[in-house]
Structure 1
Amino acid sequence: MLHANQALPSFIEYLQIEKNCSHYTIESYQRDIEEFVLFMTEQGMKSIDSVEYFDARLFLTKLYERNLSKRTVARKTSCLRSFYKFLMREGLVKENPFSLVSLPKKDQKLPRFLYEEELNQLFSSLELESPMGLRDAALLELLYATGIRVSEGCDIKLQDLDFSLGTVLVHGKGKKDRYMPLGQYAKDALASYIQDGRATVMTSQAKSHPFLLINFRGDPLTPRGVRYILTAIIKKAANNIELHPHMLRHSFATHLLNNGADLRTVQELLGHSKISSTQIYTHVTKEQLRKVYNASHPRA
């Protein structure tokens, strides 16, 4: 008889070493499995190989009774399906009770993005006289120029930048690195920040580390810090724009497609492993075309 908690460490090790999952993903998987273990305890099931298809269905029913979103239920189901697939590979169970459980269709929400006029409004509101103002400009230009995730931006080191080639080395999800091109606006903003902003703060605070983005104390900037900075920029620029960090990534992809970039190129730039993850942006561009048509055509 094998308890789930006995198999969990091996599964976590598999996610870390073989699947190269991020720390966030591993924590999420662990919470989902621990939640299922609690369900097993409540149902009087002591061994993971005693779980059957109907038990898996009952677990999903319990999730729906808590009014969880389809996306959350799908994630938990997928996690347990992967867990049992691993257990079967290791010869610890004979069947995967979640293999026949259908995943609920996720509510597809179109990614929200900023129009070019709104972005120009943000850029023009920046104050470039202070070290932190230069940092804010570099941050905004970097996120929009590359479409990188905020966590990827916080991981960038000075040596990852190549101004002669106009590229930045990005360390993506699953330990997948990619080189991203930098436009002239981003290169100029980053150069000014590094020379006149970052260097000033690092000297005054007597700090020394290789991370590109820093806070006013000279410490590496965190994703939470980025959210705080973007909120402050919005308050200065216009109160009618709601901005979260991922909207700059959405704007990057949407504007590329709107201006003729092909889907495969955008997939590579975003660091998506599957093109299906990128295809959602085609829905955005189609929606934009529909809106323009309805607003412009005399007989729309």
Structure 2
Amino acid sequence: MNAKTELAHRICTTFPVSTPITVEAVTAILKDYIIIKDSDDQRSDLNRRIKYYLGAKRIDGLSERTLKNYKNNLEMFAERMNKSAAKITTDDIRGYIGYLAESRHLAETSLQTHINTLRAFFGWLHIEEKIKKNPMSKIKSLKLDKKGARQALTVEELERLRDACQGYREKALVEFLVSSGCRLSEVAQLNVSDLDLIGRTVRVTGKGDKDRQVYFSVRARLMVQEYMVSRKGGTGLFVSSKSPYEPLKPRAIQRIIRAISERAGLEKHVHPHLLRHTFATHALNGGMDVTVIQKLLGHEDVSTTQIYAEMSDETIKHQYNKYVAAN
């Protein structure tokens, strides 16, 4: 069956009319037309452009983890756009950002990540002369409260979060995050077999595909062990509660932490990265050397660690009195 006959057949079967019509009659009507079966890439070249962009960034030396994040964000965007890259407007971008905020309920930091990804992508298309006008040129960055976003949970808030946990999966997840200081992506890729429960250590793969050893608390070990007894299957450290018990993806872990914080009635926007920051802040305030915290967090530059873990005035005064004032 050629393209014309196939289209005529589909017209007759999909859109029936009261007057009988034959495939031959429709084929005769279409005989003077050139019919080309359109592919998904021809209807929207976004996927093709994304593929080329990621290839260019790989050549530039971006890590596989970063490329994967770019790919996920851009493919999510492409699913919402039913037009070619050249026809996407600033209003389309604004509408998409609104969708992420209102329907996907993304935090401002996550929204800014999507904005940054789109800005880099469309900037590259413009430089490569694939589009005449950059739709991101009028899109401004969000005014993030970076200091507020880094405000660690207090001891009381952490206890309220613990009390709001339901089941050992939630308890183990909170304890592991807050006692190991691991990134969300690092926790999501862990298997149970990776853990040394006796030594309370595990090797994780962080940014730049660099491995490091981290530690977790006795309480975290106990919660993980109870969770392993109660769950029904799966090889991941944290898995879905339904068969086939696949490892929880980062977004699923974020939703779980958000639900726990809402139950706890915390005013702060609690997310996995805040638990990582809480770990760093409490460790530094407790007297741990900043270079040790740097190694545990996987920071290449100690200045990054100092930004994450800001000491309170009370802690600074205590340290001064301990090491200087008495001499």
- Asked whether 1:264 is paired with 2:291, we answer yes
Q: Does the residue aligned with 2:147 lie in a helix, a strand or coil?
A: coil
Provide the C-alpha distance between the structure 1 equivalents of 2:297 and 2:280, rounded to a whole number of angstroms.
8
* Counterpart pick for 1:159 among 185, 193, 198: 193
- Max Rg structure: 2
Q: Does the residue aligned with 1:169 lie in a helix, a strand or coil?
A: strand
Q: Do 1:15 and 1:21's aligned partners in 2 also have CA atoms closer than 8 Å? A: no
Question: Offset of 1:37 from its aligned partner?
Answer: 4.2
Percent identity (aligned)? 31
Question: Offset of 1:271 from its aligned partner?
Answer: 0.9
* Counterpart pick for 2:158 among 119, 128, 135: 119
Q: Give the 3 Å change call, closer, same or farther, for CA 44–189 of structure 1 in structure 2.
A: closer
Provide the C-alpha distance between the structure 2 equivalents of 1:242 and 1:20, rounded to a whole number of angstroms.
29
Provide the C-alpha distance between the structure 2 equivalents of 1:270 and 1:121, rounded to a whole number of angstroms.
25
- Asked whether 1:243 is paired with 2:270, we answer yes
Q: Does the residue aligned with 1:68 lie in a helix, a strand or coil?
A: coil
* Counterpart pick for 2:66 among 15, 22, 47: 22
Q: Give the 3 Å change call, closer, same or farther, for CA 6–174 of structure 1 in structure 2.
A: closer
Q: Does the residue aligned with 1:109 lie in a helix, a strand or coil?
A: helix
Q: Give the 3 Å change call, closer, same or farther, for CA 156–5 of structure 1 in structure 2.
A: closer
Provide the C-alpha distance between the structure 1 equivalents of 2:51 and 2:68, rounded to a whole number of angstroms.
22
TM-score if structure 2 supplies the norm length?
A: 0.58
RMSD (Å), alpha carbons: 3.5
Provide the C-alpha distance between the structure 1 equivalents of 2:51 and 2:308, rounded to a whole number of angstroms.
42
Q: Does the residue aligned with 1:168 lie in a helix, a strand or coil?
A: strand
Q: Does the residue aligned with 1:164 lie in a helix, a strand or coil?
A: coil
- Asked whether 1:222 is paired with 2:260, we answer no
* Counterpart pick for 1:285 among 297, 311, 314: 311
Provide the C-alpha distance between the structure 1 equivalents of 2:220 and 2:312, rounded to a whole number of angstroms.
28
| Structure 1 residues without counterparts, runs of 5 or longer | 46-58, 72-106, 128-132, 203-208, 293-300
Structure with the greater relative contact order (CA < 8 A, sep ≥ 6): 1 or 2?
Answer: 1
Q: Give the 3 Å change call, closer, same or farther, for CA 250–38 of structure 1 in structure 2.
A: same
Map Cα deviations across residues 129-182 of structure 1 (whole Å, 9 max, x no partner). xxxx11111101000010111111111111110012111221212111111112
The amino acid of 2:197's aligned partner reads F
TM-score if structure 1 supplies the norm length?
A: 0.63
Q: Give the 3 Å change call, closer, same or farther, for CA 290–222 of structure 1 in structure 2.
A: same
